[in-house]
Structure 1
Amino acid sequence: MAHYTKHPVAAPPTAPERESTGHLLLRGYIILVLFAAFAHSAVYNLLGEIGAAIALAAFLVATLAIGIPMIARGRPHAFAWRRLPWAATGYTVLALVSVAWSQWRGATLITWVLLAGVTVNALFIVHVLTWHEIVRALASAFKWILGLSLAVELWVALVVHEPILPNFFVRPEGEIDAHWYWVRGNLFDGGRIQGIVGNSNLLAIISLFALLTFGILFAARARWRTTLALWALLAAYFILRAGSATAYACAAAAGLVLVVALLMRRAPTPGARTRLYVVFLGGGALVAGLVWLLREPLFALVGRSADLTGRSDKIWTKVLERAAEHPVFGNGFSSPWVPFDPAFKGWITDHHITVFHAHNMWLDVLMQLGALGVVLMALAYLGLLWRSWFFAVDRPRWDLDADRSYSPLTLLPSLFTVVLLVQGLTESTPIMLWGWMLLVLLSFKIKAVPLVGVGERERVIERGERSRRVP
């Protein structure tokens, strides 16, 4: 009969190390930061301009108060100064320096503080969380946005029975432009829904990010996979109900990149990869040409005009005219455009609302920071695209072992990057707020920790490798 010996061949099993309460609170705070970044329009609609500014300032102060002591003491590890995303850092510095020649100095200073705050929070998240924790935090933030979006749509449709304006004001007497509403209450009448973010296009893109995140976690065999599948179904439903042509294009691009990355992982030799590159790059160029030639019927199919709903003649023409005035260094940084600044107030309007960005990230950068800004932004995104691609398709290796398994998590940065680049053709979100946060966060994390679950800066809690350094 088997019995416990006094001379075991191995140490008795012990429970894995649990997360400290402080680290759990830190993760909860970061989820709140991510929620405020992605659902910034909800914060704006709820608190107004001043309230939203105070909220963003509070998050910046809190992050600095938490992060500076941690970095000074080397917790949870030394800050990777040499791995900073230098192109994005250079763009941030150029944005601040542009106040010297800015045509709208007040707007430059206001929006640069916003850019700096988002940058600081992104660097802080990379420093304190592992790859696994970052993906989980993103998933939690997306769940809150999707859940609250469903709740507010149900509340407006079933209880209020009227569209609501910002600050939960019910529709006033008389006619009002539908674009002023926060939530229109279209959940059961077949119209486009806005969710808590108050914008169909924004809801669709966030839902796409959520769908990709949930899918990656599902493939990584995370806990509660059935719940993840239900969240993914809700995200897919929101994408369909939001009816955003940009989101459909981003989803198609992300799907194509996912297929190519998985085929690259299965390629047995470098020659096989080369053939795949030739086939897909050539096929991609052919598809892009066909889309351009057939743009009118394709846009009509999704209910859009060939000029992208007035972007080319109403917005882009005026932006290019202003960019031509200062083509090298630009007119001065302002992302987003400050609607109450005289330079932007009433300059370009849509449905009697002042437009606050160029609806194309490259034209926006060209107008603000000129050709120099475009070069820095291109370097930032090309660097991220390059690193994220090989982060996804190369087998993890740091010694002679070349047969380690791929991690599904390594696919997420390249999918996010492609979505941002495609969205940037018709929106300027990838250069501000959560778009900028993702650029800085992913660029810095891939440079600092190029392997998931390996290295000093990627101590995974599940393996009990949290820092035990004595203060």
Structure 2
Amino acid sequence: MAAYSKHPASAPPAAPVRETTGHLMMRAWCIFVLFMALSGTAWVNAFGTPATTVITIGGGVLSIVLWIVIRPPVQWRRLPWFVVAYVLWATLSLLWSAWVSSTALTLLLLYITTIQALFIGSVLTWREVVRALASALKWALGLSLVFELWVSVFVGAPILPGFVVEKADDPIEYWSRNNLFDWGERIQGIMGSANLLGPVALLATVVFAIRYAAGAPRRTLLAGWIALSAFLFFRASSATAYVAAVGVAIVLVTVLLMRRARRPGERTKYYVGYAVIALGGAVTLWLLRGEIFTALGRSSDLTGRESIWAAVLERAAQRPVVGWGYATPWVPWDPAFDGWIIDHDQTVMQAHNMWVDVFLQLGIIGLVIMGLTYLAATWRSWFFAVDRPRWDLREDRPYSPLSLLPTLTIAILLVQGLAESSPLLGWGWLLLVLFGYKIKQSPHVGVGPAEQSVAIERGELTKQVP
């Protein structure tokens, strides 16, 4: 029988360190939280508002309990303070809100979304965050395709929320319009809206492409997911998502050019070119919006959005400093919103512009705080992407493809926010807070206490989780 020497030249062989079951379960929970945010109104359409409310609140409570039990390393001085200021200002609006019940209800959703973002950023490393986000996007897109396929093959007719097969007064009421095999029509996925499916499909394309570039395993399968996300992006046919895709392409090209700079002043020409293209593109988009949106099958007033903006701004001008009170989204059964703005015989639940929405709810003060929030997140994510990783004298470390994700995601949110209020809630707000917090806690991928902690990477702290 073989025996080890009393004087071995190396350590005896041992099984590789593996993550504990608790850590795997915790990461699966993070994937579920991200999926809930990405799928959005799918939960309401499938299970109704009361059940969705219970699931959302229960999820927030569970994450708080896990956070207390796991106790991940957190640098409390490096919180995203503009996010904290926005949440505090929204809470203070209870004192003067014209719709107190709506403010209280939607504040609860804001608290839960913010806590979930901070929780995920605390217990997962950068690589795990991207991996979990990719998994959640696979579930959202995969179920969207299966759902549309089920409606077209087995139901054969449009369906309403709650899986009701019944003719609607207006197509906007349908959860699915049974358009999967009609190539000239848009599909809506499990979200029930092409304008929600399009940006999610675009985000998925970005995330999957970044994982592919980072050398993730099973790259052939990953290429298939990229193809699926591109297919759903095309079939959603969201004009806002198309414009966001152009913005993502511009930001990506600029970042890659910035990374090639070798001298301190070499980036200046790229910044000038980027500013000229961005401003020129914005002016062109506005002046030629009629021709552009007509070519995309939309009206020149962004499908009625200009009339919505006019109505919202008229009310916002009555309380320009502090606003009317936080309410994201607008609660349709509240008398203040019920029947205020009607589109396709439905009460509108948002201003279809996040800046106009914030101005209505929280006034100029809230608008400034939100602007600073996005400015800080954009600034940090930009240099997170363009600056070479460096924390000592070594200056030749390679860039990580993962560092591209925050700045490309914020580009999507900024463009989407021009025609939708979605970035103020759901996955938009969650990812804004998550990336802003994660960059401040871990400014380098794989480096720092929150990244290289053995307890986090190997799941040792999760052993005590029941």
Residue in 1 that maps onto 2:229: 235
Deviations 1:75-123 (A, max 9, x none): x32x221111111111101111101100000000000001001011111
**1:159 has 2:154 as partner:** yes
CA gap of 1:465–1:156, structure 2 versus 1, over 3 A, is closer
For residues 176-229 of structure 1, give each alpha carbon's deviation from its aligned partner in whole angstroms, at most 9, with x where no partner exists.
211111011100012100111111010111111111000000000011111111
1:420 to 410, 413, 423: 413
2:33 aligned partner:
33
**Contact 2:79–2:437, Cα closer than 8 Å, also in 1:** yes
- 2:133 corresponds in structure 1 to 138
Q: Is contact 1:122-1:438 (8 Å) kept?
A: yes
Change (3 A) 1:220 1:276: same
Deviation at residue 303 of structure 1 after TM alignment: 1.1
Equivalent residues, number: 460
Q: Secondary structure of 1:356's match?
A: coil
User: Aligned equivalents of 1:282 and 1:415: distance in 2?
Assistant: 19
Q: Out of 250, 259, 264, which is 2:258 matched to? A: 264
Please state how far the C-alpha of 1:295 moved relative to its aligned partner: 1.9
1:360/1:426 contact within 8 Å kept: yes
- For 1:247 and 1:182, the matched residues in 2 are separated by 20
Match for residue 101 of structure 1?
A: 96
Aligned with 1:88 (options 83, 93, 105): 83
Cα deviations across residues 434-463 of structure 1 (Å, max 9, x unaligned)? 211111111100001000001111027799
CA-CA distance at 1:470 after TM superposition:
11
Aligned to 2:247, which of 247, 250, 253?
253
Q: Which amino acid aligns with 1:85?
A: P
Matches within 5 A, 1:420-439: 420-439=413-432
Whether the 8 Å contact between 2:321 and 2:364 is mirrored in structure 1 is: yes
Matching residue within 141, 148, 163 for 1:168: 163
Shift of 1:466: 5.7
Residue in 1 that maps onto 2:272:
278
Question: What is the CA–CA distance in structure 2 between the aligned matches of 1:28 and 1:396, rounded to whole Å?
Answer: 29
* TM-score normalized with structure 2 length: 0.95
Alpha-carbon separation, structure 1, partners of 2:305 and 2:344: 13
2:356 corresponds, among 340, 363, 374, to: 363
Q: Distance in 1 between matches of 2:142 and 2:222?
A: 13
The match for 2:394 is: 401
SS at match of 1:166: coil
Give the distance between the partners of 1:467 and 1:428, measured in 2 at CA.
Answer: 40
Alignment-mate amino acid for residue 201 of structure 2: S
Q: Any residues of structure 2 matched to 1:332-343 within 5 Å, and which?
A: 332-343=325-336
Residue 13 (structure 1) shift: 5.5
One-letter code aligned to 1:318: A
Give the one of 288, 295, 298 matched to 1:294: 288
Q: Distance in 2 between matches of 1:239 and 1:113?
A: 32
2:338 to 340, 345, 348: 345
Structure-1 residue corresponding to 2:318? 325
Distance in 2 (alpha carbons) for counterparts of 1:275 and 1:445: 30
1:205 aligns with 199
Q: What residue number does 1:216 align with?
A: 210
Bigger relative contact order, structure 1 or 2 (CA pairs below 8 A, ≥6 apart): 2
Instruction: Say which of 182, 192, 213 aligns to 2:186.
Output: 192
- Per-residue CA distance 1:244-270 (angstroms, 9 max, x = gap): 000000111001111110111111212
The 8 Å contact of residues 455 and 461 in structure 2, kept in 1 or not, is answered as no
| Structure 1: runs of 5 or more not aligned | none
Deviation at 1:40, TM superposition (A): 2.2
2:47 aligned partner, one-letter code? L
Aligned residue identity for 1:183: S
Q: How much does 1:287 deviate? A: 2.7
Q: Which moved more, 1:86-95 or 1:14-23?
A: 14-23
Structure 2 gaps, min length 5:
none
Answer yes or no: is 1:120 the counterpart of 2:115. yes
Kindly report structure 1 stretches of 4+ aligned residues shifted beyond 6 Å.
4-8, 460-465, 468-471
- Aligned partner (choices 146, 169, 174) of residue 181 of structure 1: 174
Flag the 1:196–1:466 CA change in 2: closer, same or farther, 3 A.
Answer: closer
Q: Distance in 1 between matches of 2:177 and 2:277?
A: 41
SS in 1 for 2:84: helix
1:44 matches 2:38: no
Quote how far apart the aligned CAs of 1:49 are: 1.3
The offset of 1:70, in angstroms, is 2.6
The offset of 1:285, in angstroms, is 2.1
Q: Measure the CA separation in 1 of the matches of 2:263 and 2:5.
A: 51
Partner amino acid, structure 1, of 2:209 = G
The amino acid that maps onto 1:24 is L
SS at match of 1:397: coil
Separation in 2 of the partners of 1:262 and 1:462? Answer: 34
Following the alignment from structure 2 to structure 1, what is the Cα–Cα distance between the partners of residues 337 and 57?
Answer: 24
CA distance in 2 between partners of 1:316 and 1:54 (Å): 33
* Cα distance, 1:406–1:17 mapped onto 2, change above 3 Å: same
Q: Is the 8 A contact 1:17 1:464 kept in 2?
A: no
2:18 maps to what in 1?
A: 18
Q: In the aligned structure 2, how far is the partner of 1:324 from the partner of 1:68? A: 44
Percent identical among aligned pairs is: 52
Closer/same/farther in 2, CA of residues 16 and 340 from structure 1, 3 Å limit: same
Mapped to 2, the partners of 1:196 and 1:27 lie a distance apart of 23
Q: Residue by residue, what CA displacement relative to the aligned partner does 1:377-421 show, whole Å, maximum 9, x if unpaired? A: 001000000000000000001111100010000000000001000
Letter aligned with residue 372 of structure 1: I
Asked if the contact 2:20/2:459 (under 8 Å) is kept, the reply is no
Q: Which amino acid aligns with 1:42?
A: A
Superposed displacement of residue 465, structure 1: 6.2
Equivalents in 2 of 1:265, 1:312: separation in Å?
Answer: 39
Deviation at 1:333, TM superposition (A): 0.3
Alignment RMSD (CA, Å):
1.9
User: What SS does the corresponding residue of 1:333 show, helix, strand or coil?
Assistant: coil
Partner SS state of residue 392, structure 2:
coil
